[in-house]
Amino acid sequence: MKKYDIVVIGGGAGGLTVAAGAAGLGASVALIEKEKQPGGDCLHYGCVPSKALLQAAKEVYNARKAAKEFGLHLSGDIDFGVAKKRVIDAQKIIEKHDSVERFENMGVDVYHGEGSFITRNEIQIASQHQETMKIWGKRIVIATGSRPSIPAIEGLETVEYITNETIFDLDAAPKRLAVIGGGPIGLEMAQAFSRLGSEVNVFVRSNTILAKEDKELIPVALQELEKEMIFHFQSQVTKVEPIHPSGSIRLHIQYLATDDKNIVKRETTLEVDQLLIAAGRTSNIESLGLEKIGVETQNGHVLVKDTLQTSVSNIFAVGDIIGKYLFTHAAGMEGKAVIANAVFGLRNKAQYDSLPWVTYTDPEIYHLGLTEDEARCKHVDNLEVYKVNVDDVDRFVTDRQSVGILKVITDKKGFILGAHAVGKGASTWMQELVYAKQYKHPIGNVSKVIHPYPTHGAILQRAADQYWRKKLFSGFLPKLAKKYIQWFR
């Protein structure tokens, strides 16, 4: 049985970060990956293909919009094959960074198959292409990711629904698409297919989308999204059935509303050509045999300490399976923390306070830190809120972008508690605030940074300027300055 300093189960963002980092530090490393090509959900079904498709759809949308505005005439049907080829091309380029050859050149032994625990140090690797084998690891890192959650809907097994793992296999944009779920995956794919020619209906069980976002920003984003798709709030798809011979799907929908404290139910049906399930994620932990070795789980996730150590001291877990933040960059950050802990026995903690995330709709929705409601719960009234609309910033005006807002929440001293935005390119220009928050620079410092004119990032300077206006031009300072000026004359 071959022995290793570090065994990593799962070749997604978190697992690859650990494998590369540990190997670079001189540890002997084994990587177990069930797919032929490492890269995880992000490369194969998530970040990479979805953003490639979103960009293709955005170009189609902007071309139509520009043609209409400038009196041009566009004709013809969209070639979905072009959009699909863009997805494949992007994956081929990026997968080189995650290739088996690259990791083998680092000194990592890559095993294809599914890993499961025999003991706290022994891993069994089962593969269809070779005999089952065993390896031994001094430290083991679980990074097996997640998969789409499939809700219990009557008749779902009778139709060919799609998820984020199969949507990119489509050969054409469906004429009528239904999306179950109002989270980032559902919204991004809904908008992409709407722009590629689909009539899109989105079904959301609550009365809003993106429940984790600052509630003041959601109406701004929703105002734009509702121009491109139909939302069904407080709705539930209770049953689906195939329609022969067309191959379309009939949805049975139940709406729940409150009338004088009573729940009122209304039912209807809708026929669509394709159904996308985007109703959350489920951790891939069932086949690991965690119960045999005493690794504790809760609600389908692996329980970890702040150091990402499980209840079994030599075993760590990162990424979606711990159920904290299901983002590629979160898994990468966790992987970096684990490298030091697993290789050198340190006790670095995963830090989530300055972890941002983005919903890549158009406009983009950016989240950093606490929402205003969360901040008020934690800091009572000891906070300040600064807001700037995009149409107050010259570069957005020249780009004819009138919809969007920046909101920054700070304590009384100006240290950032949270920052949120809806707007074109928010994923790029908001990063300055991530740096300021993480390294404890007050918002006022952003005002002192020289921003070239005109840029979208000037919106951050506008917010920071509000801090100084409030600090310098209210209270006793203006009176003191007036007296000083009179004296100085």
Residue positions forming the annotated binding site: 51, 115, 144-146, 181-188, 280, 320
Other CB atoms within 10 Å distance of the CB of residue 15: 27
Alpha carbon distances (Å) from 306 to 13, 152, 255, 282, 309: 19, 34, 41, 22, 7
DSSP secondary-structure letter at 154?
B
Q: Which residues are annotated as a binding site for FAD?
A: 51, 115, 144-146, 320
Length of the chain, please?
Answer: 489
230, containing H or E segment? strand 230-232
Other CB atoms within 10 Å distance of the CB of residue 354: 17
Q: Which residues are annotated as a binding site for NAD(+)?
A: 181-188, 280
In our burial notation (b when 16+ CB lie closer than 10 A, e otherwise), range 315-338 reads bbbbbbbbbbbbbbebbbbbbbbb
- Are 123 and 139 within 8 A, CB to CB? no
Alpha carbon distances (Å) from 76 to 79, 82, 181, 220: 9, 14, 32, 33
Between 328-344 and 13-24, two packed helices, what is the crossing angle to 10 degrees?
Answer: 30
Q: Is 219 exposed, middle or buried (0-12, 13-18, 19+ CB in 10 A)?
A: exposed
